[in-house]
Structure 1
């Protein structure tokens, strides 16, 4: 405890770090206040979008911090921007012209960011129209009659402006605050549901009698164990030894150092789970309420605890893990960089043999990483099968837990870097926080 108090004092004593933390908290507070402002034209007392808290729409509501089910001006949250960013990142990988623009440096990055914003407006406008149709169909009683003729156009404009404002908040947090702003906004939205979900789970277990407390404690212990395992998955690396040739210039020797090339077990990060969920959500593009019947194919796509749902979901996650890793990881480029810097892998010839060796190692570690990622993705379904409420079960795995663990590690790493730069001790007594150090440029 004494060590923790001293660390907090050290953090607060650094003016730059203190200002970053305060700025981040204030901008997040603005976002959370906006998430509770109801759309014009709706009666707050009659809003009942409880169906959006479960099933296929539950994840969207989780990412929006509950704003989706509350018909807030931030109902769509940051997800349209995330979708546009993922699409643009894939284009920079698949389209040669986009690759050329990306390699132009700062000017190329600004162009791509501007196109991403334009695409965000289009995606948000389309989703806003679908959201209006969802409200009319599911909770039309909440509409105020006098405002009905203007509801569609005003809601579309407000939701689009709300998403752009949230995007701006994320960029400001990244520039002036601490950590990745978009990631922090998503994490805060997810964490905002945790207290209510835990209270509901406790209430459900209390109704079962004397053994309810023991079951709840066991669930908390399992959740902590899952988080610890997920930290290992996020930080796990396979180190390939790299030797640099010695160079003697004058009376001084340069190089000759032995270092390691870290290859992440989960190199694709959270992207495979997001892609898998996007595929499972495809039918919702036709209607937000297409899963209401809960039968046949609809049940497979909408019910996370359905056996076929988990099997299909796991297969998609494994497939996308290999696909996305192949897209973002270039062993040939790494081999060329090593050769250019007089580095080599002991026992392996430079050039193509080194690229083949690194690629083979990456393939071997990607398989267990993909399987573990798939297991994490379907854990909420298993949790619901053992009678854990759906809201609390969503924290046992899936995108929500992956994002929370990754963002927290990333933020703690930045804080530790600030402390070490000023010759303070880090956040841990031994070792360093590795963080995600993701290789992708997506906001999350």
Structure 2
């Protein structure tokens, strides 16, 4: 059972002796207390840390406790308890109506003050717990959508993900390109014990032995490494068989020792990482040929999950297509076209070498042609499908297409980035990187 963390409180009072008195009382009761002298400082304080409850004086220079209460976003801010030597019944009633959790008059009775603060903190933690539960359930439904299907292999895969999500065991994901390995890695993380922990995805094929330690371990006294920043979360090693051997040795040391040694440091720094790796290659062949260290493989393949190719999931193709067509119809703000018998026949006769990713792209092309009142699944499947108004270069075409698609998805999902990433079939981290790279302004689409 996880040990309950001490309650935290932010005290706001311009009277130094009162701040010290409240600090002594709360710390002696086992609280973690921080005190500031001005209500104007609260917003800056909440940027870095969120207490369980705020205890604020009412009458203060600059901004009063009532004005502080009015300035807070009640949907996300901690509950606020007001305390004042000048309080009266109308002020107390108004404060409660405006959203204050409680109102205490000075001189306060310590036991009553602690009781009110404890109830406020308990309520806040329960609210946060319920929010995490709703997010967890949303992600769970997202897992069903990402791994949509009723074939035995997909049903078993969903069950394995649920069984493994809250364990620290290393998982190796195997599957052809386009089968959804990174999405499964995200699902294992998001459905785990701490979905808010970092998720660090590394494309192993792009790692360089020359810069690995500087980037991943950091430099003593200058910069922190990416692995240290991800400590407590998940390390996703994509394309592990393409990882340079020199980097494999460094990764193995980190995984075995659970610590990193920043460049120039004398002592190592501990890290705690749940490792998930992925490959579309035969790991046994890669190990036998010397491209993948066997000792590293033994650290990565405690559990192996195999994602089936779409050609072995024929019974799921129509269901997946209907799902993707509905998603893209919402993005492009049109009605999804019905799937005719010829459409279904075309999909079932196709081998789908690009797997689910290819099917998703085909469905998007079908929606794009449906906007002009033409097209079919057969023409969408054809690799020589042409789109109108294509820019001069491939890079420009891809960028223009991504800008339009991401913008419409952000609008369709009203700025909810997790839902946007899911609709686009990419991870949240990948979406953030594309927004930055393409210079998109999220607010401009809302």
- TM-score norm. by structure 1 comes to 0.21
- TM-score norm. by structure 2 comes to 0.21
Higher helix share: 1
Structure with more relative contact order (C-alpha pairs < 8 Å, separation 6 or more): 1
Higher strand share: 2
